[in-house]
Amino acid sequence: MARLMLLILLSFWFSVAVSQPISAAQPPSKEQVTDYLNQCRDRNLVPDLITQFGTDFRNTNYRGVDFRGTPGLGRGSNLSHADFSGSDLAGAVFAAVRLEAANFIGADLSDTDLREAWFVGASLSNCSFDQARLQFANFDDVRGLTPDQFSHLQSRSQRWQRVIAEQFTKLLPRMLPWLHTMAVCPLLVMAWTRLNSPVAPRTEKSAAVLNILNGLPQSLMLWLLFNDTATTVQLNAGSESAMDVWSTWVAWWPMLLYVTILTCCLSLLNICVFLAFRWSWSRLQADRGALLHQSMTVCSSMATFCELVALAPTA
The CATH number of the domain where 106 resides is what? 2.160.20
Pair 214, 263: CB distance under 8 Å: yes
pLDDT at 210: 86
Q: Are residues 189 and 152 in the same domain?
A: no
Residue 290 domain-assigned (yes or no): yes
Q: Are residues 191 and 252 in the same domain?
A: yes
Alpha-carbon distance of 100 to 188, in angstroms, equals: 53
Residue 201 sits at φ, ψ, to 5 deg, of -70, 170
DSSP H helical ranges for the chain: 2-19, 30-42, 49-53, 147-157, 159-195, 202-226, 240-276, 281-286, 288-310
pLDDT at 168: 73
pLDDT at 24: 47
Residue 3 domain-assigned (yes or no): no
* Cα separations in angstroms, 164 against 74, 119, 167, 227: 21, 19, 5, 26
What's the predicted TM-score (pTM) here?
Answer: 0.52
Alpha-carbon distance of 93 to 65, in angstroms, equals: 6
Residue 22 domain-assigned (yes or no): no
Alpha-carbon distance of 263 to 271, in angstroms, equals: 12
Where the chain has pLDDT below 50, the residues are 4, 7, 12-14, 16-24, 73-74
Residue 11 domain-assigned (yes or no): no
Bridge partners for 143 per DSSP: 123
pLDDT at 93: 92
Alpha-carbon distance of 101 to 266, in angstroms, equals: 57
Bridge partners for 289 per DSSP: none
State the total domains in the chain.
Answer: 2
Last residue of a domain, one of 105, 124, 157: 157
Q: Are residues 146 and 179 in the same domain?
A: no
Residue 6 domain-assigned (yes or no): no
Q: Are residues 125 and 231 in the same domain?
A: no
Amino acid letter for position 306: C
Cα 202 to chain centroid, rounded: 46
Last residue of a domain, one of 127, 157, 187: 157
Pair 58, 33: CB distance under 8 Å: no
Q: What 8-state DSSP symbol labels residue 233?
A: G
Q: Are residues 180 and 302 in the same domain?
A: yes
Q: Are residues 229 and 292 in the same domain?
A: yes
pLDDT at 86: 94
Residue 75 domain-assigned (yes or no): yes
pLDDT at 16: 39
Per the structure, the complete domain to which residue 281 belongs is given by 170-310
pLDDT at 143: 92
- Among 245, 244, 237, 238, smallest CA distance to 221 is for 245
Residue 55 domain-assigned (yes or no): yes
pLDDT at 19: 40
Q: Are residues 179 and 139 in the same domain?
A: no
Cα 246 to chain centroid, rounded: 25
pLDDT at 255: 92
Q: Are residues 266 and 174 in the same domain?
A: yes
Bridge partners for 98 per DSSP: 78, 118
pLDDT at 5: 56
Last residue of a domain, one of 104, 129, 157: 157
Residue 17 domain-assigned (yes or no): no
Amino acid letter for position 106: G
Q: Are residues 39 and 68 in the same domain?
A: yes
